[in-house]
Amino acid sequence: MKDSHFETMSLPEEMQVYAPDGSEIRLLLQMKGGSMCHCTLPPDHISLAGMHQNVEEIWYILEGRGQVWRKSPHGEEETVDVSPGVNLSIPPHTHFQFRATGPEPLRFILTTMPPWPGEQEWIQVAAHWQPSA
C-alpha cells in the first residue's frame, strides 16, 4: 500500500491468483479499511465451500448467472440466484459456496473488510453442491 492519498489502476488482464475456493482473482486496490478484487468462476463451475474467520465481504455481480449458498452460524440458510446488478453480503463465520449456471463466466467485484489477510483466513466447510475442483 502506498503512502500517497490517491491510487488509480485498471483491471489486470490476466488472473493473478486462485482464491482458496478455486475462483480466479485479479487484485484491485487496498486501503486500511478494506480491499477489492475481481473474481471469475468459469461457466458450469462450482467453487469449494468455505467460511471466513474474521473478514466480511460485499459482492457485486458484473457478468454471468449463478447461485450463491449461504448458511449463518445460527443455521439459517438460503440459496440466491445472482446476475448482473445483484449485490450480497458474506458476514464472518458464514458458510458459503457459489456456482456459475449460465454459458458465460460468473464475474463479480468483492470488497473485503478488513483487507484480505491471506489464505489462513478461509476454512473449507462441508459442500452444499459437489465442487468442480
pTM of the model: 0.93
pLDDT at 2: 54
pLDDT at 4: 63
Residues of the chain with pLDDT under 70: 1-4, 133
pLDDT at 5: 82
pLDDT at 6: 92
pLDDT at 11: 96
pLDDT at 8: 95
Chain centre distance of CA 5: 27
pLDDT at 47: 98
- DSSP states along 6-74: ----PPPSS--EE-TTS-EEEEEEE-SS-EEEEEEE-TT-BPPPEEESS-EEEEEEEES-EEEEEE-TT
The reply to whether CATH 3.30.1380.10 applies to domain 20-124 is: no
Q: pLDDT, tens digit, for every residue of 20-53?
A: 999 999 999 999 999 999 999 999 999 999 999 9
